[in-house]
């Protein structure tokens, strides 16, 4: 009989493997924007899987670890902010990395609100993806606004710039997530409370 400790160790190892898979996938870019932001081959999917399989607590913890890893890998963006002061660098680190990626851990909590699994999964991935976009949008206004072309409002530029990479990234993740969720033999998503449409 498995103990609670064994179960936690198993979840911890699975979460660590998912974070590692997400980091490796994030290194392969389909498209990269000049000032940061890229479209990846569903790099955030492993973090979403943790949230779906083990709940928000494990999802948020895994997403936070992933965000700190991404912050380390993208630290050159943090030190390249237009106005180099502690406030701007902290805002960049928080909005572009820590908060943006940690939101992914909430996907499982959103999915649980829906009786139809595919619908809940779609809403969860889109909602957390739009949360990432909102964080990057705010960062674009607060930190990166000086790059707005002449004649453009800072808000419009930030939205256009960040939507260019974020929306395709979310769309790819959503399609792959929904397709994989239908293959129950993979065991990537919990079978309980699943009603397919």
CATH of domain 15-186: 1.10.1760.20
Query: Can you give the pLDDT at residue 190?
Result: 67
Of 87, 112, 105, 123, whose CA–CA distance to 44 is shortest? Answer: 105
pLDDT(138) > 60: yes
Query: Can you give the pLDDT at residue 4?
Result: 84
Q: From CA 105, how far away is CA 138, in angstroms rounded?
A: 20
pTM of the full structure: 0.89
> What percentage of the chain exceeds 70 in pLDDT?
93
60-104 confidence digits (pLDDT tens): 999 999 999 999 998 888 988 988 889 999 999 999 999 999 999
Q: Give the pLDDT band of residue 195 (cuts 50, 70, 90).
A: very low
Domain spans in the chain, listed from the N-terminal domain onward? 15-186
Please give the average per-residue pLDDT across 144-171, as a whole number. 95
8-36 confidence digits (pLDDT tens): 999 999 999 999 999 999 999 999 998 88
What angle do the packed helices 4-26 and 56-73 form, to 10 degrees? 40
pLDDT(196) > 60: no
For residue 79, what are the CA distances in angstroms to 40, 84, 144, 165? 23, 7, 12, 21
Strand partners, 38: 32
Q: Which helix (H) or strand (E) holds 91?
A: helix 86-92
> What percentage of the chain exceeds 90 in pLDDT?
76
């Amino acid at each position: 009989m498995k103990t609670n400790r064994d179960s936690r160790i198993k979840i911890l190892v699975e979460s660590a493997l998912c974070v590692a898979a997400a980091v490796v996938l994030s290194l392969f870019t389909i498209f990269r924007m000049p000032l940061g932001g890229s479209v990846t081959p569903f790099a955030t999917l492993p973090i979403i899987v943790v949230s779906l399989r083990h709940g928000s607590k494990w999802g948020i913890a895994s997403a936070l670890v992933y965000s700190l890893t991404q912050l380390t890998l993208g630290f050159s963006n943090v030190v390249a902010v237009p106005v180099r002061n502690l406030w701007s660098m902290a805002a960049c680190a928080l909005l572009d990395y820590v908060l943006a990626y940690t939101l992914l851990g909430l996907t499982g909590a959103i999915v649980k609100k829906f009786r139809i699994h595919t619908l809940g999964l779609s809403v969860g991935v889109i909602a957390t993806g739009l949360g990432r976009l909102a964080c990057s949008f705010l960062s674009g206004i607060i930190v990166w606004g000086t790059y707005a072309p002449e004649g453009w409002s800072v808000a419009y530029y930030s939205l256009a710039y960040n939507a260019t990479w974020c929306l395709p990234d979310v769309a790819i993740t959503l399609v792959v997530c929904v397709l994989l969720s239908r293959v129950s033999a993979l065991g990537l998503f919990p079978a309980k409370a699943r009603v397919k449409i």
